[in-house]
Amino acid sequence: MSCTLRASVVTGLEFLAADEVKERLSVPEVLEGRGFITWSQDIETVTQALNLKIIDHLQVTMSKFMVEFADENTAALDQLEDLVPQVDWQTGLNVWSHFTDFPHTVSSLPVDSKPELDRGDRDLQTSTVPLPKYRATCHRAGQHHKFSSPEAGHRLGGIIQTRFGWNVNLKDFDLEVVIRITDNEVTFGIALTKVSLYHRNVSEFSRTTLKANICAGLLRLADIQPNEIVVDPMCGSGNVIVEGALTHPHSFCLAGDIQEYCVGSSIANILAVNSKRQEQGLPQLNAGVIQWDATNLPLVTDSVDVIVTDLPYGKRMGNKVDNRKLYPMFLTEAARVTRPQSSRAVILTADRKCMNTVLPQVRKWWSMPRTTIINHGGIRSCIYLLRRTALVW
Ligand SMILES: C[S@@+](CC[C@H](N)C(=O)[O-])C[C@H]1O[C@@H](n2cnc3c(N)ncnc32)[C@H](O)[C@@H]1O
pLDDT in tens, 258-268: 999 999 999 99
Give percent of the chain above pLDDT 90: 85
Atom of ligand 1 nearest to the CA of 205: 9
3-class DSSP state for residue 76? helix
Other C-beta atoms lying within 10 Å of the C-beta of residue 83: 16
- 198 vs 225: which has the higher pLDDT: 225
Q: What is the mean pLDDT of residues 188-216?
A: 90
Question: How confident is the prediction for the chain on average, in pLDDT?
Answer: 93
Pick the CATH number of 57-191 from 3.40.50.720, 3.30.420.40, 2.40.50.100, 3.30.2130.30: 3.30.2130.30
Could you tell me which of 202, 208, 315 has the C-alpha nearest to residue 265? 202
3-class DSSP state for residue 51? helix
d(CA 261, ligand 1 centre) in Å:
11
State the pLDDT confidence band at 199, using cuts at 50, 70 and 90.
Answer: confident
d(CA 234, ligand 1 centre) in Å:
4
Give the residue extent of every domain in the chain: 57-191, 212-388
d(CA 218, ligand 1 centre) in Å:
16
Most distant CA atoms of the chain, gap in Å: 81
Pocket-testing residue among 237, 257, 383, ligand 1, by greatest number of atoms within 8 A of Cβ: 257
- Identify the pLDDT of residue 119: 46
Report the relative pairing of strands 30-33 and 167-168 from DSSP bridges.
unpaired
Pocket (CB within 6 angstroms of ligand 1): 206, 208-210, 233-237, 239-240, 257-259, 262, 293-295, 310, 312, 317-318, 326
Atom of ligand 1 nearest to the CA of 265: 9
Amino acid at 250: H
Q: What is the mean pLDDT of residues 34-49?
A: 96
57-191 shares its CATH topology with 212-388: no
Lowest-confidence segment of 86-90, 134-138, 171-175, 321-325 by average pLDDT: 321-325
Homologous superfamily (CATH) for 212-388 = Vaccinia Virus protein VP39 (3.40.50.150)
CA distance 17 to 52: 8
The answer to whether 177 and 106 are in contact (CB under 8 A) is no
Amino acid at 31: L
Residue 185 main-chain phi, psi, to 5 deg: -95, 130
The alpha helices in the chain, defined as continuous H runs, are 14-25, 73-83, 89-97, 119-125, 149-164, 212-222, 239-247, 260-279, 320-337, 352-358
d(CA 293, ligand 1 centre) in Å:
10
- Identify the pLDDT of residue 377: 85
- Identify the pLDDT of residue 115: 52
* pLDDT of residue 386 exceeding 90: yes
- 319 vs 158: which has the higher pLDDT: 158
* pLDDT of residue 240 exceeding 60: yes
pLDDT tens for each residue of 68-123: 999 999 999 999 999 999 999 999 999 999 999 999 999 999 987 755 444 445 44
d(CA 25, ligand 1 centre) in Å:
34
3-class DSSP state for residue 331? helix
**257, 261, 266, 268 alpha-carbon torsion, rounded to 10°:** 160
Kindly indicate whether the ipTM for this predicted assembly is greater than 0.95, answering yes or no: yes
Q: What is the mean pLDDT of residues 316-345?
A: 89
Pocket-testing residue among 199, 200, 208, 237, ligand 1, by greatest number of atoms within 8 A of Cβ: 208
d(CA 23, ligand 1 centre) in Å:
32
* pLDDT of residue 169 exceeding 60: yes
Pocket-testing residue among 234, 310, 315, 348, ligand 1, by greatest number of atoms within 8 A of Cβ: 234
pLDDT tens for each residue of 271-319: 999 999 999 999 999 999 999 999 999 999 999 999 999 999 875 555 6
Sign of the Cα pseudo-torsion (211, 330, 319, 238, in order): positive
